[in-house]
Every structure is written in structure tokens, then in C-alpha cells.
């Protein structure tokens, strides 16, 4: 799942600024398409490098205008160019939904009961069947859903919302030898949103709210103006001035994340570790233990998470809306005594962090 900005120049076939997503084979890129929204040729995924439109760390007014991302894609294609998923009746089907873009997407599977079997690659305990709920997937998150192909025909799997690019993020579940279906897109319909806080069967996890931790840290996620530019802060500071989470190998670490921004979601992503989600907004997680490496905080949300410091290194903990990370919302988990086994090339054309 991804988003793109269309370029104003007609006839331009190059893909500018798209260095983090593979748009398919060269063979595919040479094919002509029939509709305007089905070709990704000439699209700009957004440039995080400073230029006339990007001031502080690449974050200017243009970086915040998410409406500029007017084309949404699945596996690098949009609209009619997205290939359907072909299934046979009776098959068990598993789909991994991966958000590699800058904004959250609500995905709706039509015509089938399904289970959410894994989140961020971590299996859930005894997931239960649900139907006609949207899965809201924030930048950096991964959700696996599983269903039995027991309803022959053609059924949509689509993004819900009202942005210009929303209608391009849909495809069909298509049964072999069965194309009869009265299913129609319903992207504007309000549907219940899946939540993991009470989903699946309860099971003892590695951590609990009442236990003793070696390190406790709180992240106040917020915004501030720096001159004419928006900064995204952790405890009132921007990277590299943010305070590290300093740990020793074997430490048990509890982190409380609170989104005090007025408008922005913050999908916070920890490198090198998975954490257990212990509570949301003061209420303990009651269903399956939830292990994640990315947690999305809407304005006003507070999550408590815990992890074991068992992977020595210097690891980023940052907002996965990379506009926000570039504008300061980054800190690090740093292990005492860790020394990298490499030295940066002094002639490299970048500055290591």
C-alpha cells in the first residue's frame, strides 16, 4: 500500500524521487495503459531532500500537504492495472497488507468472514472471525488476514475514505470459473474499525503492567514551530537533541507513548526489537498478547509497551510518517558499552547519525 504525487508535466515517463519502493519490472514499465489512473509513469513519491519547497530537514509546507498524494497503489499499480487475486473455491487464502507509504489506509474485504492472524509479522493467539470491519494500517504496519474462499464470484478488497486517490486502491478477489457477482465498491461507507486490544484468546505474555522494570521512559509526542517551519518533537526536543533510551543488555524496558499533537497521527517504530503492547488509554490489553514493532497513536492516545533489551546496538525509535521523522521525531535506544564493528567512510557523501 503506497501513495504517489502525479507530476504536472505531461508525457514524462521517468519516476522521480521514488527510491524506497519497487514499481515492478522493466517489462511492465514499457507497456501502455488504457486509463489515466492505471499508469504509475511520471509519478513522484515525494522527495525528502531539501529544496525550494522543503526547508527544515526537508520539511516545508509541501511536506505537510498530504492531499498532494493523489494516487494510491497496491504493489506499485493503481486502478484498473492492479491484477485480481485468483482463488479456487475451498482454498484457504492469506493476504499480507503492508503499508510502505506516508498515511494510514482502511482496508475492507468484501463478501467473506476473515481472521487477523498476525500483526507486524507476529502471530496472534486464537484469532476469531470478523466481517465487514476495516483494518486501519498505519505507515510501517503489517497485517495478515486469512479467509476461506467459500463465496464464489468476484469480490472487492478496497481502501475506504474520501481522498482523491482512494478509489485507485482496490482490486478483486476473483474465483476461477465464477465471475457472477453483484458486489460494488463502497469506499465512502462508514464501517467498524478493527481493534487488537480485545481480539483473540487471552494468554500470559512475557510482560505485565504491574511488574518491575529496569528502565522506564515516557515519550511526549508533539509539535512546535521553529521559525516558519513545523517541528515534530519528543519531550519537547528534536533529533539529534532528543534524549536516548539508555539500556544495558538484559534490561526490561517500559515505554509510555503519549500523542499530545492536535491533529497528527504518529506511527512509532522501534528498530531491532518487538515490544508487547500492555495498555491503551489506561486500559489493559485483554485478548491475545500483542507483539509489534510499530504502534500508531492518534491524537490523545497513550500506549504502554515493554521489551527486553536483548539485541545490542544503537537502534532508532522514530515516527514512521517519514515527514515527521525528518522534522525531528526520532530518538535512539542505545546499549551501554556497544561499539560498532565498522567505521564510516570519511569520503562518503552523507553524514552518519
CATH 2.60.40.420 fits 81-175, yes or no: yes
pTM above threshold 0.75:
yes
Q: What is the predicted pLDDT for the residue at 64?
A: 55
Q: What is the predicted pLDDT for the residue at 32?
A: 33
Grid coordinates in use for 173? Answer: 478477489
CB 146, CB 119: distance < 8 Å? no
Region 327-341: mean pLDDT is: 94
- The neighbouring-strand residues paired with 96 are 144
Pick the CATH number of 215-335 from 2.60.40.420, 2.60.40.790, 3.40.50.970, 3.30.565.10: 2.60.40.420
Domain boundaries, the chain: 81-175, 215-335
* Predicted confidence (pLDDT) per residue in 120-143, tens digit: 999 999 999 999 999 999 999 999
* Predicted confidence (pLDDT) per residue in 296-323, tens digit: 999 999 999 999 999 999 999 999 999 9
**22: number of Cβ within 10 Å:** 9
Helix runs in the chain, H state only: 26-29, 61-64, 322-326
Residues 6+ apart with CB under 8 A from 344: 352
Decide if 81-175 and 215-335 have a common fold: yes
- Residue 127 in 3-state DSSP? coil
Grid coordinates in use for 68? Answer: 498532494
Amino acid at each position: 500500500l503506497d501513495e504517489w504525487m502525479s507530476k504536472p508535466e505531461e508525457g514524462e515517463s521517468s519516476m522521480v524521487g521514488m527510491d524506497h519502493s519497487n514499481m515492478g519490472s522493466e517489462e511492465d514499465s514499457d507497456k501502455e495503459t488504457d486509463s489515466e489512473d492505471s499508469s504509475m509513469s511520471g509519478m513522484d513519491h515525494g522527495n525528502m531532500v531539501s529544496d525550494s519547497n522543503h526547508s527544515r530537514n526537508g520539511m516545508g509546507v509541501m511536506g505537510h500537504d498530504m492531499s498532494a498524494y493523489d494516487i494510491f497503489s497496491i504493489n506499485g499499480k493503481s486502478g484498473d492495472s492492479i491484477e485480481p487475486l485468483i482463488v479456487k473455491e475451498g482454498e484457504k487464502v492469506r493476504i499480507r497488507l503492508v503499508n510502505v507509504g506516508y498515511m494510514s489506509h482502511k482496508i475492507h474485504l468484501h463478501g467473506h468472514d476473515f481472521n487477523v492472524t498476525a500483526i507486524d509479522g507476529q502471530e496472534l493467539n486464537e484469532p476469531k472471525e470478523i466481517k465487514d470491519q476495516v483494518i486501519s494500517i498505519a505507515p510501517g504496519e503489517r497485517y495478515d488476514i486469512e479467509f476461506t474462499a467459500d463465496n464464489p464470484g468476484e469480490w472487492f478488497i478496497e481502501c475506504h475514505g474520501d481522498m482523491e486517490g482512494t478509489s485507485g486502491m482496490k482490486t478483486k478477489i476473483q474465483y476461477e470459473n465464477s465471475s457472477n457477482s453483484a458486489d460494488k465498491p463502497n469506499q465512502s461507507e462508514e464501517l467498524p474499525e478493527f481493534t487488537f486490544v480485545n481480539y483473540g484468546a487471552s494468554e500470559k505474555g512475557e510482560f505485565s503492567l504491574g511488574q518491575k522494570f529496569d528502565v522506564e521512559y515516557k515519550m511526549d509526542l508533539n509539535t512546535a514551530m521553529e521559525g516558519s517551519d513545523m517541528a515534530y518533537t519528543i519531550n519537547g526536543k528534536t533529533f539529534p537533541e532528543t534524549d536516548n533510551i539508555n539500556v544495558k543488555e538484559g534490561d526490561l524496558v517500559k515505554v509510555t507513548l503519549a500523542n499530545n499533537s492536535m491533529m497528527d497521527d504518529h506511527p512509532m517504530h522501534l528498530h531491532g526489537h518487538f515490544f508487547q503492547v500492555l495498555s491503551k488509554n489506561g486500559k489493559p490489553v485483554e485478548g491475545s498478547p500483542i507483539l509489534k514493532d510499530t504502534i500508531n497513536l492518534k491524537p490523545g492516545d497513550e500506549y504502554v509497551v515493554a521489551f527486553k533489551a536483548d539485541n545490542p546496538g544503537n537502534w532508532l525509535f522514530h515516527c514512521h510518517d517519514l515527514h515527521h521523522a525528518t522534522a525531528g521525531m526520532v530518538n535512539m535506544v542505545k546499549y551501554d558499552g556497544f561499539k560498532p564493528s565498522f567505521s564510516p567512510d570519511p569520503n562518503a557523501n552523507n553524514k552518519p547519525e
